[in-house]
Amino acid sequence: MSDHITEIVVFTFLFLLVSGIGFVAARWRAPKDMAHLDEWGLGGRSFGGWVTWFLVGGDLYTAYTFVAVPALIFGAGAAGFFAVPYTIIIYPIFFLILIRLWSVSHRHGFVTPADFVRTRFDSPTLALVIAITGIVATMPYIALQLVGIEAVLKTMGVTGDSLLARHAPIIIAFAILAAYTYQSGLRAPALIAFVKDTLIYLVIIVAVLYLPYKLGGWGSIFDAADKKFQGTAAPGDGILLNANNQIQYVTLALGSALALFLYPHSITGVLASKNRNVIKRNMSALPAYSFLLGLIALLGYMAISAGVKPLPGAKEGTVDSNTVVPLLFDQKFPAWFAGIAFAAIGIGALVPAAIMSIAAANLFTRNIYKEYLKRDATHAQEAQVSKIASLVVKVGAVAFIVFLDPQFSIDLQLIGGVIILQTAPAVAIGLYTRWLHRGALIAGWAAGMGLAFWMLWQIPNAVTKRAHFGGSAFPLSEFGFDTKKTIYVGFVAVAVNLVVAVLATFLLRTLKTPEGVDGTTPDDYFADEGDPRIDKSATPVDTVSST
């Protein structure tokens, strides 16, 4: 640790600086009363173009993105670039889906996607299913923000060998996060996102200009990567895709794009926007982050060329591939700049972790607590319960890292994408049509979820030596095909989900099963700021803005 004093000082200073910003954020655009989910959980639904751009960008591009994408490319090559096309195609989907969700949510005061489903299909059971699915899928995603911080701390030599020494810095960091999120709500990550994204852009631009110069140019970097993968026995590895991983690549990119906008934290960031035009402008501008992601991904090949060797993993004989990028900065940059890079990764964990915990807490409060435990809960009670739930969610995320192998948590994140995809028929399709029967949507969800877990059970992990739940790439040979090709589990599961929902709809309509009453109207999906039909009872009426 003594060799990293400068890095530790710089990292600690910047980390404490943004933590202070998190506490101050409660006074930024402060309402007279924070005891309302619209204020605590959605920032007053008042964020303009710049704030939304930084907030949503900081929400979608997490610390795990900056650590794990290049680590995957370091280990597997071109297959890791799936993250680039999926973050490109996500924005047209956002444009088509989330603008309509924003309007109907603004009109009725919805805070979560399950709120919308509850009103659209007149089904508290379906809403409960959507809420639980969102919470379960989000929990490991929050935990993975810890993986990025842990990789940085391990590189600086801060963590020890014992369980407590290894995780104490992370526990402290998330305790600080929990405190300012409890106080400031969504305003905290919104304000911190400005610092986080500025640091990330600075670090990556310097890296892609400086490192190729130090490593002999891009030709030398790609030659080193190609040489490494030519010596591997893995059929899917290489700097180019091959016949074995092309289907997996395409379905994973498309499936991940569909999953990303369904995550509760993605929807929370969008619902905090003040009008439809803010969302439209952001969907046009946010692909700038995808360009940045492409540059970040190339760090994996740079690490190969630089001869980076990952640090040992938690178990004897394993390596922690998540340390590849921190080690690259540690070895190739001055200590002060490496400290800035480490702080960028660490702060990059705080923004999405805060938004994710708020989103999960809102789901619990609105669609479990208020629906089943206290139907007459006041706005103040909702806000208080959501604050407490956000703390519980963070404790659960820390438990993932403390008591489970971090590699297992990474696999759980891949599984999380498969899980959240099963909400697509109810949420995404439901925004355009109510043709699917509410009972059929539940049946489709059950079929998709059941198939998904069966497929995931069949997937081993060669690295961790687990026989089940080892990832999301399902071998087509399990379906009887004589091939080494794989396919993304979520893509197959959601297709089955939709087929079952369609068939069950025909059946339930034939049986004349009640379909409930649609609580929305066609005009709701085009409502905008200042619409006179806004449900005033669902929104705070006594707020003031300040700079």
Q: In this prediction, what percent of the chain has a pLDDT beyond 70? A: 90
Q: How confident is the model over 128-151, as a mean pLDDT?
A: 87
Q: How confident is the model over 250-268, as a mean pLDDT?
A: 90
pLDDT in tens, 420-469: 999 999 999 999 999 999 999 999 999 999 999 999 888 887 666 677 77
| 190-194, 305-309, 456-460, 512-516: least confidently modelled range | 456-460
What span, in angstroms and rounded, lies between the C-alpha atoms of 227 and 513?
63
Residues 6+ positions from 432 with CB-CB distance below 8 Å: 100
Q: Which residue has the higher pLDDT, 130 or 545?
A: 130
What is the reported pLDDT for 166?
65
Tokens of 475: 């071998």
* Position 480 confidence tier, pLDDT thresholds 50, 70, 90: confident
pLDDT in tens, 55-66: 888 888 877 778
What span, in angstroms and rounded, lies between the C-alpha atoms of 117 and 124?
8
What span, in angstroms and rounded, lies between the C-alpha atoms of 135 and 198?
30
What is the reported pLDDT for 408?
57
Neighbours of 269 (CB within 10 A): 31
Q: Which residue has the higher pLDDT, 328 or 399?
A: 328
What is the reported pLDDT for 369?
95
3-class DSSP state of 473: strand
3-class DSSP state of 466: strand
pTM to 2 decimals? 0.90
What span, in angstroms and rounded, lies between the C-alpha atoms of 197 and 16?
17
Q: How confident is the model over 185-210, as a mean pLDDT?
A: 90
Domains of the chain: 2-26+52-407 (1.20.1730.10)
pLDDT in tens, 10-51: 999 998 898 899 888 878 877 767 788 889 998 888 899 889
Q: How confident is the model over 155-177, as a mean pLDDT?
A: 74
Q: Which residue has the higher pLDDT, 471 or 347?
A: 347
pLDDT in tens, 74-101: 988 888 888 889 888 888 888 889 999 9
pLDDT at residue 547 is higher than 50: no
Neighbours of 483 (CB within 10 A): 12
* Position 399 confidence tier, pLDDT thresholds 50, 70, 90: confident
φ, ψ (nearest 5 deg) of residue 273: -70, 150
Q: How confident is the model over 253-277, as a mean pLDDT?
A: 91
Q: Is the CB of residue 169 less than 8 Å from the CB of residue 159?
A: yes
Pairing of strands 319-320, 311-312: antiparallel
What span, in angstroms and rounded, lies between the C-alpha atoms of 328 and 326?
5
Q: How confident is the model over 134-155, as a mean pLDDT?
A: 85
pLDDT at residue 234 is higher than 80: no
Q: Is the CB of residue 310 less than 8 Å from the CB of residue 72?
A: no
pLDDT in tens, 279-325: 999 888 888 888 888 899 999 999 999 999 988 876 777 777 888 99
pLDDT at residue 270 is higher than 80: yes
Tokens of 199: 């640091």
What is the reported pLDDT for 161?
62
In the predicted model, what is the mean pLDDT of the chain? 86
pLDDT in tens, 322-362: 889 999 999 999 999 999 999 998 888 888 888 999 999 99
pLDDT in tens, 375-395: 999 989 999 999 999 999 888
What is the reported pLDDT for 542?
42
What span, in angstroms and rounded, lies between the C-alpha atoms of 120 and 225?
51
* Position 544 confidence tier, pLDDT thresholds 50, 70, 90: very low
Return the amino acid letter for 488.
Answer: Y
